Structure 1
């Protein structure tokens, strides 16, 4: 289904009736990637199973058909293990759209890994040195336009006897950030009180307006020229 955000009207785009050659099996807690032409279904499962990432179900918005897309293995770790309840985000890079998946579980195992799927080459990349602090699933994931990943909440597990809900937030860069972003992070780190300052005062001392606006404080900058 599709929701028109102007009219708030729902529209049925396609209904799987089991007659199409490549219609995917019903599932829940899957994630999606999108490149403005196709919708890519990533994982998910049922109460008893989890789907893999070898052949990804793809829906073409233009042709209104489903088809499978074979993915390319990471040279060392291969392909992510089947899972549901994972987190996924995507970012735009100079080389194209990249989708990242993190955590999740398959009904028995809980994961703490991070993977990247390039939607141009369909190559999987495993990040051995960028694992989650602990295995987690049912968490929320988001990415900033600049390419920073945020993971919040979820159900975490360090072993079979230690399962608990989390209210922690973790973040990492998914790409090499711009120097200006590094500088802004340093400002926030060394001057946490900055959120209490008036926007115009921050602009007057030389901070770029678009960074000041990120603070979202109660004193928005005026429209006068800097």
Structure 2
């Protein structure tokens, strides 16, 4: 094929295009748009994009210089961060300069210190983590302070729009049980139940605390009725206006009791008593049908999901055992009885391995678990259990670093965040890294907001009136945390 642009010699200087049939293409000027279009129409054998790229290089020294400037990193337009649906991505927060001045040992980290045993919740705008444990911090930082312990009595907030970590200044009485508690988010109220202080098991709790996200204030919820015994490592779930708590340990013994708290009346009710059920079976006072009702093994550091009618217990164990996930227990809220059900494997016949100290989030009737360990291995896989048919699905991603005793939360838009945890089988190494994974494609509004916040990271420096005048909806502007 005949070359559309003849090859020039090295000694020949680059000059503007001069072709017969074009209007006075003098050596001191470039083509106009009309001339360029006319030239392209006369060269039908070359694709338009290729011809346009080649003509850029033949526009003379001034045009070549501009083309080179476009290819330099400083001149390239900034591209928005991709969503990476279904992929685990490392979240790198911005440096909080105010926090670096007040807390010198956070200058390098730019984020909360490494920890384990903490909990996390998330809304549309923020990720909240509370509590946690790290003995290395106690030995390295506060060895001379006898009043400090290796637990973190602090509440951190990561704002998605500004990519900044902030330790919140709260009012009221902050809970002192800071490890293996249960934490849930209901509207603008964060509920914290149970947990343990240090040493573990000697300062367990059965108190319920409420944190108002808008007022940044803590309060104790005064309850009556048949409350659970003080435990930690239990699991909790919200179903309607009721809080359900199951299992846990005192540090010496484990249980499988089920308790219900009506958040409107604030009255506890015991739905299932493990010791009483076992005693009836031993003494033979159960009916024939009741003798065949299974009783789940006492456990801690398990997780619980709900479809509104049943409570599903996932994993967990004791200090010497872990429980499987191919057959799980479910508790019927109406009949108040346990059932042992079999789940369905993946299309390749796989089930998640037995584990405890894993994390669990629920989005609709889809339940996601990740991480955990079984005394011999630390897991970094992510699984989904569909409650409609109890079908397991393994996601084709893994955590960059297997962890257990970590915290995870999911936003209403469907993005799961995973923070901290233990990375050593011996329990002597912890991480402070934050990861995210979009579990499914979000709405167009969430995609647009994610792109805008990634392109303009300093949104907190602009006033709300300025952002609204730029066309950003008010509900999105309210997600930006001011500093």
1:13 to 248, 271, 275: 271
Aligned residues: 211
> Aligned residue for 1:205?
470
Report matched runs for 1:178-217 at 5 Å. Answer: 178-217=443-482
State the Cα RMSD in Å: 1.8
Whether 1:154 aligns to 2:421 is yes
Point out the more displaced range, 160-169 or 104-113.
160-169
Alignment gaps of 5+ in structure 1: 219-226
Q: CA deviation at 1:161?
A: 7.6
Q: Which moved more, 1:59-68 or 1:174-183?
A: 174-183
Query: Which of the two has greater strand per residue?
Result: 1
Q: Pick 1 or 2: higher relative contact order, CA cutoff 8 A, min separation 6.
A: 2
Q: CA deviation at 1:162?
A: 9.0
SS at match of 1:182: helix
Indicate how the Cα distance of structure 1 residues 183 and 150 shifts in structure 2: closer, same or farther if over 3 A, else same: same
Tell me whether 1:28 sits opposite 2:309 in the alignment: no
Cα separation, 2, equivalents of 1:144 and 1:8: 28
Q: Deviations over 1:12-42 (max 9, x none)?
A: 2221232462110000000011111110000
Q: Counterpart in 1 of 2:437?
A: 172
Question: Are 2:324 and 1:52 equivalent residues in the alignment?
Answer: yes
Q: What residue in structure 2 maps to residue 86 of structure 1?
A: 358
Aligned pairs for 1:80-159 (under 5 A) are 80-92=352-364, 97-128=365-396, 130-157=397-424
Aligned residues of 1:77 and 1:126 also touching (Cα < 8 A): no
Alpha-carbon distance change, 77 to 85 in structure 1, aligned in 2, over 3 angstroms:
farther
Normalising by structure 2, report the TM-score.
0.42
Partners in 1 of 2:399 and 2:390 — Cα distance? 23
Is contact 1:85–1:138 with CA below 8 Å preserved after alignment? Answer: yes
2:262 aligns with 4
Shift of 1:203: 1.7
Deviation of 1:146 after TM superposition, in Å, equals 1.1
Write the distance in 2 (CA, Å) between the matches of 1:10 and 1:89. Answer: 25
Structure 2 CA distance for aligned equivalents of residues 87 and 74 of structure 1 = 20
Shift of 1:148: 0.6
Give TM-score scaled by structure 1 length.
0.87
Moved more, 25-34 or 195-204: 195-204
User: What SS does the aligned partner of 1:195 have?
Assistant: helix
For 1:224, the equivalent position in structure 2 comes to: none
The runs of 4+ residues in structure 1 deviating greater than 4 Å are 160-163
C-alpha displacement of 1:163: 4.8
Distance 1:62 1:161, change over 3 A: closer
Aligned to 1:62: 334
1:72 lines up with 2:344 in the alignment: yes
Shift of 1:54: 1.2
Residue 81 of structure 1 and its aligned partner are, at CA, apart by: 0.1
Unpaired runs of 5+ residues, structure 2, are: 1-258, 282-289
